[in-house]
Structure formats: structure tokens, C-alpha cells
Amino acid sequence: MLDFSFFTWEVFRGYVLNGMYFSFALTAVATLGGIFFGTLLAMMRLSGIPFLAWPATVYVNGMRSIPLLMVLLWFFLLVPILIGRPIGAEMSAVVTFIAFEAAYFSEIMRAGIQSIPRGQVYAGQAMGMTYGQNMKLVILPQAFRNMLPILLTQTIILFQDTSLVYIITAHDMLHGFTVAGSNLSRTRESYILAAVFYFVICFSLSALVKRLNKKIAIIR
């Protein structure tokens, strides 16, 4: 018989709250870092300069071909051996997520950049803008607006993926529910509650993305 009466505010605060903070923080940092480096990768791939485009293409295709869990384990287990000291589960998660998500955000940004009419690119070039100035002042602002719903959708997927850091013992939201269930002998109830929390958060964010998408469609 399932019994959820154990899940009080004290249990939530003592076991889950800090993990929830870390899950949100990891999502925010990985999103910002992924968008930043992903934009750089997208610009490198579209630059037409072989020594920039080729490494970026190899990196993006390579990262997108490997499961996130495998990358997480590689970084957590191998990097400390290479540098000669441990770096901690939380730091491993942050670095891995930024490096991994940059590849996915790169493809989103590349599609956004390519969606801008070529006439605007040529107009910027005719005004004497460099490639970097054209991207910064003309192309990227429009690409970000066009791709905002997709970027936010990828962020929701990223939040779901944060549960994978449990495998390297990082204290995320899932880890908090797991410890609570283990210590209070309510393992099944804890995993059900964890699923409910993830569902409510992701469903709410998805609803916000849909509303934003409608507003952008109206503006267009």
C-alpha cells in the first residue's frame, strides 16, 4: 500500500530542496554556456574558413553521436586521472553539460542563422561590415528571436537530463528523492513523487513555451 504521508515540508526541505536548487542551477548554467559556445560553433561552421569550420563540424557531429550519460561518465572518471586530482561530481556535471549541450545549441543556432534572408547578409557586407559585425548587429538578434521557442524547448529537455547526474552521485533533485526514500523506507513513493515533480515542472515550462511561440507568431 502506497503511503505519501511521510512527505512533509521538513522532508522536502531536508532532502529535496538543495537538490532542486542544483538541478535548476545546472540547467541555467548549461543553457547559457551551451548557447554561448554553441553560437560560436555555429559561426565557425558557417564562416567558410576550413580551419574553423572543420573542427567545429567534427566536434558537433561527434558530441551528437555519443550518449550524454557516456560523456558524463568519461569526464567524471577520466579527467581526474589526466589532471591528477578530483574535480567533484557537481563540477563534472557543469562542464559536461555545457560541452555536450553546446553541440545541440549549435545546430539550433545554425538553423536560425540560415533562416535569415541572404539579402540582409549582403546588405551588411555592402555597408562595409565585417563577418563578425554582420553577425553581431544584423543576423544573430533576428536568429535568437526566431529560435527562442526551440531554445527554450531544448532547455526543458536539458532539465530532464539533469537527472542523469545522479549516476555520478551529484546531489540533484532525483538524488534528494532517492535518499529520502531510502532513509525513510519509502522508495516507491519517493520515485513516484520525483516523477510528479519533474512532470509538473516540465509541463508548466512547456505551456509557457507554447504561449511564447504564439506571441512570436503574432509579431511576425
pLDDT per residue, tens digit, the chain (220 aa), is 788 888 999 999 999 999 999 999 999 999 999 999 999 999 899 888 888 999 999 999 999 999 999 999 998 988 888 888 878 889 999 999 999 999 999 999 888 888 777 777 777 777 877 777 777 787 888 888 778 888 888 999 999 999 999 889 898 999 999 999 999 999 999 999 999 999 999 999 999 888 877 776 655 5
Q: Which three cell numbers stand for residue 134?
A: 554582420
Model's pTM, two decimal places?
0.87
Q: Which three cell numbers stand for residue 12?
A: 522536502
How much is the pLDDT for 3?
84
How much is the pLDDT for 220?
52
Is the sign of the CA dihedral 19, 97, 93, 69 positive or negative?
positive
How much is the pLDDT for 218?
52
Give the separation between CA 5 and CA 84, rounded to whole angstroms: 47
How much is the pLDDT for 138?
79
Q: Which domains does the chain have, with CATH numbers?
A: 9-219 (1.10.3720.10)
Report CA dihedral (123, 124, 130, 134) to the nearest 10 degrees.
-130
Q: Which three cell numbers stand for residue 70?
A: 557516456
Read off φ and ψ for residue 67, nearest 5 degrees. -60, 145
Give the separation between CA 132 and CA 115, rounded to whole angstroms: 18
Q: Is 117 left (phi over 0), alpha (psi -120 to 50) or beta?
A: beta
User: Which stretches of the chain are assigned E, i.e. beta strand?
Assistant: none
How much is the pLDDT for 101?
94
Give the separation between CA 182 and CA 163, rounded to whole angstroms: 17
How much is the pLDDT for 216?
66
